[in-house]
Structure 1
């Protein structure tokens, strides 16, 4: 009888930051680790985020034992609302903060479920047949972060989740004893956060960050505005405590900032007098030097609170001369230009801006640097290592750190999405199976594979513009009625491109007449295809552009009244 191995693969999170989603299959059971979202960059116009394709999980939902959540950040739990809408997830095992965030999101979207909620603590051990699941107390920028270990007859897998090691933390230490235990119990494969794998040495301490923030707050003559990642609950909580010590009143702006603070207060992570918080409608009742404003917008988001303040469009807050604005954050890749433009606008209003690294350390990442990675390898002693939750270059460097720490280079695997691996007798093999793991774009509140076509069209329109061609055909006479009408946007300026317009009209006119006079089986769809091919080819040759070509064909025989679009200059 053949032994049955444990299969695993990633739907998201490999060779990328965001949409962390790993799947383990063992004895006809499925275990999901995280279900994250990836935030869209500026090139994906109108797209809220990206999640993995969940079709494999939907097709096998009866085998799913549960979703196991490492912590309550969007890149690890932001896809859950979309997953549970389409797939029967009967059990979610998560930290208390993560459960609060998930329930809030489900309530907000009016999603009804029958989920069994199991709250993680460091002593929790769950058993599913031959599979044992236990947990490691990690340290991250949000309280209640955990690593998760899965152990069965074929070996063990340990997911660190996002983590860092801070020896002077504002919260708790990571559980080094549990890491040593994992190492002593012969860890087969380690999946570890690669986000900051390229950064040498050790990450700065959160206490040093807060010391610098406090100094700037104490020097501020007017109101203080601090923008940070709303998900950095630990730092937000510490800043609010500083505000209480300085007798400041705190007001929050931005949906995610307000929600994060409310959840932290409900769970006791923000332990201050309720009187410190004021309603945003009552801001005008206080002098500027009494106020601490916590707001979203650290990444230059156009609709965030800080951007509205910079534009003078915020209903409660106006930026005045000598207001202090602290950016307690670092730019996410792709956001640097937006942030610089925002800061420039704030300077124009006379604000005193403090930026991370330019004005001292005002932010430290919740993700480990190389020395912290080395510590994890030394303690857990994995036989195999899979870099996880980091771009390809980060994964490569993380692998080098693993090799220096003693991991066999042949056992360091940079996996791709959908590649299926098998663990058998504490050895890892790559299989020939491949799971579909295409990105699914979220447009508004709709997540659909069809949105990929929509994105491609938006990109084409943004880069090349469009051409609209309108024809009226007399089928009986096999002729074109009137002139072919052409409307363009973002492709060329018609008044200075009359020769190009004439060429397009000539190409279309000749192509259509030849087709309808010489072909007995022509159709509207065939005509449109021929026109698109010829017009796109012409534009590429003359303008090195590939505009979106839209064609309207009407027939004189079918119309009583014909309205032909007026030609519009672009």
Structure 2
């Protein structure tokens, strides 16, 4: 069934995640009644989503249209692009997943952890491969990012070329293979109808350092540090892990690895050849205790201050194998993701309390560089591809707006640029772009093993409990005799301390008793009405007495 928002001769482009946010990237291309999905990511929640593990997009539109899905195409292996795949496969039938290089291994690992999924075929593409569907040819352009094997995706359609960049930066001296700028220039001279481009660093007018420069900087640091080096980075940053191993080898250090995702990344990196280490460089947890401090690099997870990651546990003194020692130096080879700064600062403060030197990226040491291009990089892509129409993607709303301004500077007509939100559908013809309407979209929360069983109401209640506490009234009644059997019992958690506040609790119990008697005396007694009357009345009374609004929960026990 064709998308009713699209007219004849139009193709549709929209996002279920990735617009107005950095995370849960999922872009949908509807071409000739076929649906091509690009990426399926997760979003790591900030502190207002209490207890939530991940956020994924609402897949309703894909569930309703799954017979039209041609395939899922993966640009690269970061969690905000592949982390949602297991949850997508639980809901939607995907005929094939197309991925390249290291992404194939990462996805296979991910699917092994979810035993209840019937995984589709994973097709491994290379940069020169082409796939033909009905009136659509898909090809790939290698670009540079902070993880190997990052590819932009080219759709050749009846209307013209659509190019989705994926995440990228312009790096003329990359650690891995070079980007295919010749292919970008070629599609530019052929004529790009519509460009969708990464907006993460659209606000930054600066030079993003080359990854190879960071390798030199890490090596220099290692040569100057006398004791043990504990270094934290993203487990997915294969190039950085390789640079850390090379710096360790040059400085006669062995490498011990702690953190499940880091161990897995090194295993995948060695299988795919992205991580090369001389024999016996990487040592086990048992061996590292026998090493002298100046002979040891400890590679850990926890660069974002995650409470359960290896570095946080070392800082807390709760890690089973690694104890922080005076003379240690901790290097953060990463920068905090927006929203994580507080957790990172907490870890750094704890490390300072243990008299440990901490080095973060800054004017004194280049320990990290972004994987996303800043303004000059974005302008280069716009200038090479010369698109007629433009949709900024992958970024918070202000980033998308900044990217729009850059596109206008590069000669794109403002009428041909759409800054969209998740769910907004861009209808694209061979010469124009318009906002056609919206499809079903939203956020689905994953808490433990539950998918979507936590709604915004539950989050609201958790927030209320964390800030205002709980006040519960237990009523024993007999619905046949319509009598209250005992006086109400009050339970308070996180609201007021019961001892010392007997007067308040007694007066509230008395109020609850009056309401119960009144409700039981009515001709038509209804338990729901009784509970609601108690909630409404006590909410008002409690606020009058304490200026607070705890979660009021009446419990009615019927002893008939």
Scaled to the shorter chain, the TM-score interval is over 0.9
Q: Residues 539 and 552 of structure 2 are in contact (CA less than 8 Å); yes or no, is this contact kept in structure 1?
A: yes
Give the aligned partner of residue 532 of structure 2. Answer: 529
Give the aligned partner of residue 62 of structure 1. Answer: 67
| Deviation (angstroms), 1:4 | 3.5
Distance 1:309 1:450 in 2: 32
1:235 matched to 2:245? The reply is: no
CA deviation vs aligned residue, 1:431-473 (integer Å, no higher than 9, x gap): 13x2211101111132225444432321221122111110112
Q: Please give the residue correspondences for 1:1-150 in structure 2 after superposition, counting only pairs within 5 Å.
A: 3-150=8-155
| Deviation (angstroms), 1:504 | 2.1
Q: Residues 253 and 293 of structure 1 are in contact (CA less than 8 Å); yes or no, is this contact kept in structure 2?
A: yes
Distance 2:412 2:226 in 1: 54
1:223 matched to 2:228? The reply is: yes
Q: Please give the residue correspondences for 1:59-458 in structure 2 after superposition, counting only pairs within 5 Å.
A: 59-357=64-362, 359-432=364-437, 434-458=438-462
Distance 1:183 1:529 in 2: 65
Distance 1:83 1:15 in 2: 21
SS of the aligned residue for 1:494 comes to: coil
Distance 2:549 2:28 in 1: 40
Q: Residues 218 and 247 of structure 2 are in contact (CA less than 8 Å); yes or no, is this contact kept in structure 1?
A: no
| Deviation (angstroms), 1:491 | 1.6
Distance 1:162 1:542 in 2: 54
The equivalent position to 1:505 in structure 2, one of 497, 502, 509, is 509
Q: Residues 38 and 75 of structure 1 are in contact (CA less than 8 Å); yes or no, is this contact kept in structure 2?
A: yes
CA-based RMSD: 1.7
Give the aligned partner of residue 563 of structure 1. Answer: none
CA deviation vs aligned residue, 1:386-413 (integer Å, no higher than 9, x gap): 1111011111111111111111122221
Q: 5+ unaligned residues in a row in structure 1: which ranges?
A: 558-570
CA deviation vs aligned residue, 1:280-325 (integer Å, no higher than 9, x gap): 2222122222111110011111111011111222122111111111
SS of the aligned residue for 1:260 comes to: helix
Answer with 524-533 or 540-549: which moved more.
540-549
Answer with 423-432 or 402-411: which moved more.
423-432
Q: Residues 191 and 387 of structure 1 are in contact (CA less than 8 Å); yes or no, is this contact kept in structure 2?
A: yes
Distance 2:182 2:426 in 1: 30
Q: Residues 446 and 454 of structure 2 are in contact (CA less than 8 Å); yes or no, is this contact kept in structure 1?
A: no
Distance 2:345 2:272 in 1: 36
Output the TM-score relative to the length of structure 1.
Answer: 0.94
CA deviation vs aligned residue, 1:327-371 (integer Å, no higher than 9, x gap): 111111222222112111112222121111163221111011111
Distance 2:425 2:138 in 1: 21
**Which aligned segments of 4 or more residues in structure 1 are displaced greater than 4 angstroms?**
none
Distance 1:242 1:105 in 2: 30
| Deviation (angstroms), 1:267 | 0.3
1:487 matched to 2:491? The reply is: yes
CA deviation vs aligned residue, 1:175-211 (integer Å, no higher than 9, x gap): 1111111211221221111111111122122222222
The equivalent position to 2:558 in structure 1, one of 555, 558, 567, is 555
Output the TM-score relative to the length of structure 2.
Answer: 0.95
Give the aligned partner of residue 518 of structure 2. Answer: 514
Distance 1:137 1:45 in 2: 39
Distance 1:271 1:190 in 2: 37
| Deviation (angstroms), 1:222 | 1.4
Give the aligned partner of residue 560 of structure 1. Answer: none
- Cα distance change, pair 144–492 in 1 and its aligned pair in 2 (3 A): same
Distance 2:526 2:533 in 1: 11
**Paired residues, number:** 554
Distance 2:455 2:186 in 1: 46
Distance 1:370 1:503 in 2: 64
